[in-house]
Every structure is written in structure tokens, then in C-alpha cells.
Amino acid sequence: MNENTKDAKLIILDRDGVINQDSDDYIKSVEEWIPIPGSLEAIARLNHAGYRVIVATNQSGLGRGYFDIDTLNAIHNRMQQKLAALGAQIEAIFLCPHTPNTHCRCRKPLPGLLEDIAERLRTDLTGIPMIGDSLKDIQVATAVGASPSLVLTGKGQSAAEKHRDDLTGVPIYQDLSTAVDALLAG
């Protein structure tokens, strides 16, 4: 671990259902990427409080052929432009493009994507906050020693109802904005 990353505050966010609205039909175009109210402002508050914001997202729509890498890059560019207007940014976006049947190690809930983040940032993820909207997000955070939180946006409400026993001790928040308020207050 290098000295610069040791003292930096880091947070990992899932994308769909946490930052932007989710869809069972996938987010396949820039027009379909719609931020959840308050989420971009929450990321701005994190940045202004000294947090490096990283996104870890499964994007199997890429592997399924629902969109191509240029479209995904355009979606992420739109997200970054909207954040820049608020004086904010996402430092890096790590994604798994694979479908579930490829059995890769980078598809959440397996830890490969987060292990890649730790390796590339030369940091330990123990205790690092991770906010997601699914049991997979909670499981992957736990697998690498990160500190998971669940938001009720996206698939979060369903996850909270279906997996109540698996979420014992996991903080649950209405949305990213309230999760960030709690993190910054604590």
C-alpha cells in the first residue's frame, strides 16, 4: 500500500439502482440513464468531504449484446458530465461485462471485481464503505472485508424483504443521499 492511498478516504458504489434508476430491461442507452433524485448531489458531498468515489458494477448487458462498449462509455460520460456540473466526479468505474453463465470471478457476488480495485489502487478494502441495492453487493463487500450498506432504491426494497436474515447488522438507507448523510455524520 503506498502512503498516498493509505490516508485517502475511499467509497465503492454500485451503479444501477444506487446512482441511477435500474431497469429489468437494462440501461441500454444514454437516454435510459436517469439519475436517482439526490444521488449525484450525494456523490458531490462525498467528493467535497475528501472521498474518492469508485463504482463497481455488473454490466452483463454488454456480454448479452444489448449495448456495445461505445454506448456504455457514452452512458458513463453523461454521468461524469452531470457530476462535473456539481463539482464532483467518479474516480474510476470497474465493471464486469460477463453474463452469469460465464462463471467469471469478476461478476458480483464473487470478489474478483473488488480485488481488482484493491490491486489497482494499491489499497486494502477492509472497512471501506460499499453501498449497493442487492444482496450481491452486500455479499461481495463482506467477502473482501469492506463495510456494506444497502439502499432501498433499485432492487433494494425487494432485497431487504427477501433476504432479511442475510442483512442482519447491515445498515439500510432510503437512498444514496441518506446513506451518505449517515456516513458523513458518523
Model pLDDT for residues 123-175, shown as the tens digit of each residue: 999 999 999 999 999 999 999 999 999 999 999 999 999 999 999 999 999 99
Q: What gap in Å lies between CA 59 and CA 75, rounded to an integer?
A: 12
Q: Please tell me the predicted confidence (pLDDT) of residue 136.
A: 97
Model pLDDT for residues 49-99, shown as the tens digit of each residue: 999 999 999 999 999 999 999 999 999 999 999 999 999 999 999 999 999
Q: Please tell me the predicted confidence (pLDDT) of residue 4.
A: 40
175 belongs to the catalytic site: no
| pTM exceeds 0.75 | yes
> What distance separates the 2 farthest-apart alpha carbons in the chain?
43
Q: Which CATH architecture has domain 3-185?
A: 3-Layer(aba) Sandwich (3.40)
128 and 149 Cβ atoms separated by less than 8 Å: no
C-alpha torsion angle, residues 159, 35, 148, 51 (rounded to 10): 180
| Contacting residues for 79 by C-beta, under 8 A, at least 6 apart | 19, 20, 33, 35, 90
Q: Please tell me the predicted confidence (pLDDT) of residue 186.
A: 85
**Among 16, 22, 133, 137, which one carries the catalytic annotation?**
16
**Among 14, 133, 137, 175, which one carries the catalytic annotation?**
14
In a 3-state reduction of DSSP, which class is residue 41? helix
In one-letter notation, the amino acid at residue 78 is R
Residue 8 has pLDDT above 90, yes or no: no
Domain boundaries, the chain: 3-185
Cα torsion angle, 42, 21, 148, 128, sign: negative
In a 3-state reduction of DSSP, which class is residue 40? helix
CA 40 to chain centre: 13
Q: Please tell me the predicted confidence (pLDDT) of residue 2.
A: 38
Question: Alpha helix locations (H) across the chain?
Answer: 3-7, 39-48, 60-63, 69-84, 112-121, 135-143, 156-162, 176-185
165 belongs to the catalytic site: no
